[in-house]
Structures are given as structure tokens and as C-alpha cells.
Chain A
Amino acid sequence: MPKAIEIASLNAYYGSFHAVADVSLTIAPRSITAFIGPSGCGKSTLLRTLNRMHEVIPGARVTGSVLVEGQDVYGSGVDPVLVRQRVGMVFQRPNPFPTMSIKDNVLAGVRLQRRRLSKGEANSVVERSLRSAGLWTEVRDRLDKPGASLSGGQQQRLCIARAIAIEPEVLLMDEPCSALDPISTLAIEELMAGLKATYTVVIVTHNMAQAARISDKTAFFTIDGARKPGRLVEYGPTAAMFSEPNQQATADYIAGRFG
């Protein structure tokens, strides 16, 4: 099986607090993988270790290894800046740069990598990214308006356009719909099905119906109590996991008996 991401005995810490314990799993390229589990189970933390955004928080550290397309992102001498160019991220709250126009938001990441960008190239990147994010027809005639003038759902799709404008291999989504209304959520879910053709998508979600609708594989995490680390309980094809979970904890969580 080809592997886009291989996580091996990964532990994540915030200072002395052990947040994620010994996770190993493999993610296939051009698939959607959902991380589900109760609050505090470490699923977002795990997601943030995949593009080295975890270590941005003071005192946060990681042990173990994460291979993206065979390369260890925690290898010695690996620049986190280059990792984040290959592994893009969309956050829980839409976060377009408030002072930038829609167009400049899309180009923000591209301009970091390529100082000289001709007008034609810039326009084609903007159109391609906004089309992929399903936003082009809505904003094509107001690209110079501030990104903050869009609705929440549009802002989130703008953030997706911004993330894919730099053509990463992997797209991480940290509860991308939890701040959105059902219609905007639907728009993003439909969009993800298309993104799967090009990118390896990993999504953290609290919404189990969403995980069931969009993901190919699901990883279920849980915690055994407060101040305990989160751990991986079960990982497998989504359909099988939601119909016949192997673990009682997974069955209880999916059935809504806790979490």
C-alpha cells in the first residue's frame, strides 16, 4: 500500500503534560482520513504534529517520527518552514488575514516562496485556487475586497484556497466546519470530495455524521481520564468502523453513549 503519511510511536507533550501517547498509523495518499474522539483526546494535537505546528506553542514537544512521502519531518536539519509548505493546514476558525484583499489572501503563501510573480501567473493561481475551493463564482468580481468582508463559510473556503495555492501534498483540517452553519458545512464537505483527487486530506471533526459521510478511513481516539494522555483506540475503513466497531469504546462513542 502506498503511504502518504506514516506516524510511528508518536508522543506529544505540552511541557510536562503528556497529551498524545504512542500513536502509530499510516495514511494512504489521496484519501480522506478522519480523526474523531471526545474533547481533549489529543486528536487536534496529533494533527498539529504532522506539520510541526505543535511546537509553535511554548514548551510543546514531540517524540517519535512522522514520515511524509517517506521523509521524516522531525529528522535532524529539517526546516519546519519547508514542512509546512508541503503540509498545509486549515483551522477551526476561519482566519483570513484581516487587512488583505481576497486576492492577496490567496497569494499570501505563494508570495513567500516566489518573490517574482507576474500578473498573469498571479491571476491564474488565484483563479485556479478559488475554483478548487468552490469560491470563484462568488468572488470573481470582488477580488480586491477585504477577505474579512466574506461570510464565515466563504472565509473558510478562502482559507482552503490559500492553503492549496501553494500546492501542498497534504491538507490538514482542524474541525474546519465547527464554526459554520449547516449550509456552509455542506459546501465544504462537497469541496473535500474533490480535493481528495489531488491531496491527502486529514480532518479532525467532532461531527461523527460528517466523518461517516466524507472519510475513507477513521481513527478513533480517547482519554482514560483528566490529565491522562490521549491514545488511539481503533483505526480502519470508515464504513466498517461505523457499522461494526472492533472496540467497545468506539461503539459507545459512535452510539453517543459518551463524549
Chain B
Amino acid sequence: MGTVVAERPAVRDSGLNRLVGQPEGTRPPGKRWGKAPKASTGVERAGDRAARRLATAAGATILVALAGVGLFLLARGLPAVRAGQGDLPEGATSFWQLAGPLAFGSVWAAALALLFAIPVAVAVALFISMYAPRRFAGPLGATVDVLAAIPSVVYGLWGLMVFAPMTAGLYRWLSDHMGWFPLFAGKPSATGRTILTAALVLAVMVLPIIAAVCREVFLQTPALSVEAALALGATRWETIRLAVFPFARSGIVSGAMLGLGRALGETMAIAMVLSPTPFLMSVRLLNNTNPNTIAASIAQNFPEAYGMEVNALIGLGLILFVITFAVNYLARRVVARSQPGA
């Protein structure tokens, strides 16, 4: 017999192998590769083992941190749910009287912000990735990224001192000419410090992160699909509709979710722009009386809170935590369902 060739140890199967084997275009966008199969028999090299353990540890850390935050919010926040008048901030008679309007305010302000930010962000990302000459695309993309790095206090100051006074005239005009529209009803604010102003400031704040995510997703559109569209006689806009958007849909939603997270949690910009009215739940956009948000309320009340009031504020945090989870989950569901064959 000749020399015995040692059998090559089977490479440990992992998610990576699936990445390599996937033919381009067959993987639905945004879909995970699925759970890595159980380790097959074989030797694992030291480097692979170290990398795997490091990655597993990092993944576990996220879960531990999330669970820790959740437990803290539950343990400290739940007692406040049963608290009565006297123990709660702003003289609330029950926790829900406090939490309801604030939860509404948070969701309302964030939803308005996304409503303004998403179309603009998608357009900005399209311009950078599809239309801008290459010389401008790079610097412009970097500029958008810099916008994302501006501290929210600065946005708040700008909103309060520059933007709000600018908008007062517009609000008066809207109220005069479109006051019949329920959202524009009521006496318009003379200072411009309204929920609409706050939402617009929020929109400017979340725009860069959405635009940055969309830009990256648009740039990864498979060249095969773009060529297919062009060869069918599609114009540039039609190519974007045929090849870019369907591929980018889940990416756009992911970007919007990141933006929503920032908008829901944003404290300073809201706290600085708005002078809130306690327990108010109103969809009117142009008035001096405005609902407050959970994050801003926590920031405003925490310095003077003691005893059960602290628990109530932590309970508000728990509500915000739950809202964020719910919205994220819903968005994922929507994306998953809109993909054929998924």
C-alpha cells in the first residue's frame, strides 16, 4: 500500500458556509441565513474556536443587558402602577392618567417625525446613490453622516431659537386658510413652540440615520436586476422602482426603525422646544398647549422626584420600552409579509 493520506477534517459547519453557497439573487433581501446547523464531527482550529466564543459572548452580552434593563424597569416601575394621588408626579391621580397621555405624545411626535423624515431620507439616499455625480456622492454621503453626529441639545437649541420663530407665521397662515382641517384647529401658537415644530426638529434629527441606512441598501442593489430593468427599456426612475425599491424594502424599514427608536427616545429636543400641558392628549398641531413625551417628562421630572415618584418615572420608561418593542415587532411582521414566497 502507498502512503496513507490523512482524511481532511470536516470543516465545522456554520452560518458562513451558507453565505458562500448562496447564489446571488436567490436570497430574499433582509432574510437571515437561518440557524447554523449542529456542529458536525471534526476538529475545530484554535482560531475558529476563539472567534466563535468571542462572537457568542458578544451576542450573549446583548441579551444579558436587555434582560437586565427589562428586569430593572419591571422591578422598580411596577410598584408605581398601583400608586395613588400624592405619590405621583404632576399631581396625577393614577399611574395611567400620567402614562396614557405621555405614551400618546411620544408615539404621536415620533410618528409625525417619521412621516416627514422617511420620504426626504429616501430621496436623499436615492440622490446620493443613484443620481449624484460620483465626485459629489462621497462628500455628500459624509455630510449626511456628520448630521447624525450633531448632539441633540444643539438641535433643541436650534429648534427653540431659530426654527420655532420662523414657523410661527406659517402656522398662522395654516390656521387661517386650513383651520377646518382638524389637525390645524384651534388658536395658532405665536411662538411657534408646538408639537409640529418639535416633530419637524425630530425629523431633521432622524433623517441622517435613515438616509445613511437607505443609501447603503440602495448601493447593494444587485447589478443583475438593474441591468434587467434597463434592458427592458426602463428609465432611470423605472429602474429604481423595478430593481432598487423591491430589493431595498426591508432595509428602508430597518432604517425607519432606527430613526423611530431615536425619535421615541429623544429627550432634549422635545424638552427644549415644547412647553407641555400635563395630561393633555390632543392631535392638534398648531397650539400653545401640547402633549408631552415620556422621555422629555422623565428628564424634566427626575431631578425633583423622590420616593414613589421615581418609581412612576421608571414605570414610564417601562412603557416606552414596551412601545419600542411592539413597534419593532410590527414593522418586522409587515416586512416579512410583503415578501413573496417568504
Contact = CB atoms under 8 A, between A and B. Distances in A.
A4 to B, nearest CB: 18
Contacts of B228: 91, 95-97, 159, 162
B233 A53 contact: no
A129 B226 CA distance: 22
Contact of A81 (B24, B29, B224, B235): B235
Given A95-B225, A98-B26, A99-B339, A82 B232 contact: no
A149 B232 CA distance: 21
A95 B230 CA distance: 12
Interface string B223-246: 011011111111100100011001
Most buried by B among A56, A93, A98, A162: A98
Contacts of A93: 24-25, 224
Interface in A38-91: 51, 53, 56, 58, 81-82, 84-85, 88-89, 91
B234 A146 contact: no
Contact of A146 (B222, B225, B341): B341
A27 B229 CA distance: 26
B231 A99 contact: no
Interface residues of B, number: 27
A196 interface: no
Most buried by B among A148, A149, A159: A148
A166 interface: yes
Nearest to B342: A146
A199 B246 CA distance: 31
B25 A148 contact: yes
Contacts of B227: 53, 56, 91, 95
A96 B222 CA distance: 11
A56 B340 CA distance: 30
A99 B340 contact: yes
Contacts, number: 86
Given A146-B341, A149-B341, A159-B228, A97 B233 contact: no
B247 interface: yes
Contact of A88 (B134, B222, B231): B231
A148 B222 CA distance: 14
Contacts of B230: 53, 56, 84
B139 interface: no
Given A146-B340, A148-B26, A149-B341, A97 B225 contact: yes
A109 B232 contact: yes
A113 B233 CA distance: 9
Interface of A: 51, 53, 56, 58, 81-82, 84-85, 88-89, 91, 93, 95-101, 108-109, 112-113, 145-146, 148-149, 159, 162-163, 166
25 contacts: A53-B230, A84-B230, A84-B231, A84-B232, A88-B232, A95-B224, A95-B225, A96-B228, A97-B225, A97-B229, A98-B26, A98-B29, A99-B29, A99-B246, A99-B339, A108-B232, A109-B233, A112-B234, A112-B235, A112-B238, A112-B242, A146-B341, A148-B25, A162-B232, A163-B231
The 7 closest A-B pairs by CB, nearest first: A85-B233, A109-B232, A99-B246, A95-B224, A89-B231, A146-B341, A84-B233
